[in-house]
Amino acid sequence: MTVLITGGAGFIGSHLAEALLERGEKVTCIDSLNDYYDPEAKKRNITKALQNRNYRFRKEDILNQKALEAAFQEAKPEAAVHLAARVGVRPSLKEPELYTDVNIKGTVNVLQLARKYSVKNTIFASSSSVYGANKKVPFSEEDRTDKPVSPYGATKKAGELMCHSYHSLYGMNITCLRFFTVYGPRGRPDMAPCKFTRLIDQGKEIEVYGDGRTKRDYTYIADIIQGITAAIDRHLGYEVINLGNSNAVELQHLITAIEKELGKKARTKQAPPQPGDMPATYADITKARRLLGFMPRTKIEEGIKRLVAWYRENKDHT
């Protein structure tokens, strides 16, 4: 099977490519290597994959329809995993136009080509951010998601709706996976697990927004990859599925776990709650278990242990 991955040089995409190559699939990776964070980090992410003869990398922007079509035409993928997006809640407040262009127009470009080239299965990377300030926990796919609290969350919800329209019109198999705070080796440097690890190790202050009691359903990268590959292998029509660890962890607990692995104490600075931030995320994964056989196995303490070990080996680049 040939799988085309957009955003394939990023954190999740690079891990997914390696997992697919290990099981003998052919992978075409599309990534613009934008400067949301250091493009050199993304290049390092795909170093191992580039050594595999079944891997093809193309530096392209999903907003460039002509270049994107050339990639689809060359690869002739049986499955497409659309991970490329502008990410992050807080940056989306500053650049809503950019987030709208990339996350909505870019998604339409991918869907159009998946239809044109008869891709058998398409996976869309959505986010727990679509739940907004949902007070009912855990978050279920049946909950209302029409009140996102950030442009980022709104664009991801729009992407889900666009996916549904393509399924309805053209009978495409499209699975929307709502990721819950993915972390682990090669993780995004702006997200708390990697960011706090780096700052605590360097003896620098970390900002704790609000009272430090916000909760996130931190989900280890290997567990997320298991869920994505299961979705690739199943043609489900149209489905929206949570992928989370189903265990909400307080921010202070995360900090304590990092302190323990580093053997260093964090220097914290209290900061006001941030607009657009959700007080808690917590996934109901009943549907993921039923449809994908999804079974997250990595507790936060073990995940942080692996993250810190990776950080120590790569700290010159983080």
Neighbours of 160 (CB within 10 A): 19
Distance CA 198, CA 315 (A): 8
Query: What is the pTM (predicted TM-score) of this model?
Result: 0.96
Pair 157, 107: CB distance under 8 Å: no
Q: For 31-77, what is each residue's pLDDT tens digit?
A: 999 999 999 999 999 999 999 999 999 999 999 999 999 999 999 99
Of 192, 188, 157, 159, the residue nearest 274 (C-alpha): 192
Q: For 149-207, what is each residue's pLDDT tens digit?
A: 999 999 999 999 999 999 999 999 999 999 999 999 999 999 999 999 999 999 999 98
Q: What is the CATH number of the domain that holds 37?
A: 3.40.50.720
**Close Cβ partners of 6 (under 8 Å, ≥ 6 residues apart):** 13, 30, 31, 62, 80, 81, 82, 83, 84, 106, 110
Which residue carries 């987030």 as its tokens?
99
Distance CA 173, CA 212 (A): 41
Q: For 221-278, what is each residue's pLDDT tens digit?
A: 999 999 999 999 999 999 999 999 999 999 999 999 999 999 999 999 888 877 767 7
Q: Which residues are tagged catalytic?
A: 152
pLDDT of residue 144: 95
Split into its structural domains, the chain has a count of 1
Query: Given the DSSP bridges, would you call strands 215-216 and 249-250 parallel, antiparallel or unpaired?
Result: antiparallel
Pair 205, 271: CB distance under 8 Å: no
Buried b or exposed e, range 172-207, using 16+ CB within 10 angstroms: bbbbbbbbbbbbbbbbbeebbbbbbbbbbbeeeebe
Pair 138, 180: CB distance under 8 Å: no
Average pLDDT of the chain is: 95
Which domain, by its residues, includes 168? 2-317
